[in-house]
Copies of this chain bind each other. A is one copy, B any other.
Amino acid sequence: MSNRSSRAKPVASVPEVVILRLPQYVRVLNQLQQKGTEVVSSQQLGNLLQVTPAQIRKDLSYFGRFGKQGRGYSVSHLLTELKQILGLDRRWNVALVGVGRLGRAIISYPGFAPEGFDIVAAFDSSPKIVGQVVGNLFIQPVEEMAETVRNKKVSIGIIAVPAAHAQEVMDMMVQAGIRAILNYAPTTPQTPPGVKVRNLDPVHALQSMTYYLIDGA
């Protein structure tokens, strides 16, 4: 009923599309804050995000009442609330499986840590790769996954193995208790309920655009 503590849990379940938009709001609010903007209206946010103002207000209304009539939203307050809602006010430990060319690129990608995501373990199935050190990480055999996930409090997995092995890696991760998975393999593994997967497959992305190019070319 009250939302004063900003711990308010959504009463009804929030549509996933809404959750997918919130990180974008966070990103734009961050930019506004850096520019020194203190207050923003749903109208202005909508312009920046190419979204209708009504949608922004509706999205936010799932979680509480963050604005002031006649004025708009306090940038810093809304940012704080959204980060807390999304769990972006803390750090998350991540485990990577597959330390080939792609896996190495992911380990050295400098964009994760500043956003609160720390790759704290990396696994491979090849004896040639296990034992190597990449970045600061000692590459472990996949057999150690469950134990390491427990010890290092890993909550998120990244799959960077060839498509043919993605499903078994998924299963191992789920078995180890991981419930959020970022999948770089060009395949869509079967996912048990309660586990979230995001696929980052560039080929699939391309294949879903060419349809719109036919005729034009």
Interface residues, chain A, CB within 8 Å of chain B?
Answer: 19-20, 22-24, 26-27, 49-50, 85-88, 92, 94, 101-102, 105-106, 108-109, 111-112, 115, 117, 153, 155-156, 179-180, 182, 186-188, 190-191, 196, 198, 200, 202-214, 216-217
Contacts and interface: CB of A to CB of B under 8 A. Distances in A.
* Number of copies of this chain that the complex holds: 2
Contact of A203 (B19, B86, B115): B115
Given A109-B202, A111-B202, A203-B112, A210 B24 contact: no
A7 B108 CA distance: 46
Contacts of A101: 105, 108
Contact of A213 (B179, B198, B200): B179
B26 A207 contact: yes
Contacts of A202: 106, 109, 111-112, 182, 200
Most chain B CB neighbours (cut-off 10 Å) among A111, A153, A211, A216: A211
A102 B102 CA distance: 10
Contacts of A180: 206, 209-210, 212-213
Most chain B CB neighbours (cut-off 10 Å) among A22, A24, A187, A203: A203
A115 B209 CA distance: 13
19 contacts: A22-B207, A24-B188, A50-B191, A85-B211, A87-B210, A88-B210, A92-B213, A111-B203, A115-B207, A156-B210, A179-B212, A179-B213, A180-B206, A180-B212, A180-B213, A196-B212, A198-B206, A198-B209, A200-B200
A87 B211 contact: yes
A23 B87 contact: no
B211 A19 contact: yes
Question: Nearest 4 CB-CB pairs, A to B?
Answer: A198-B205, A23-B207, A87-B210, A180-B209
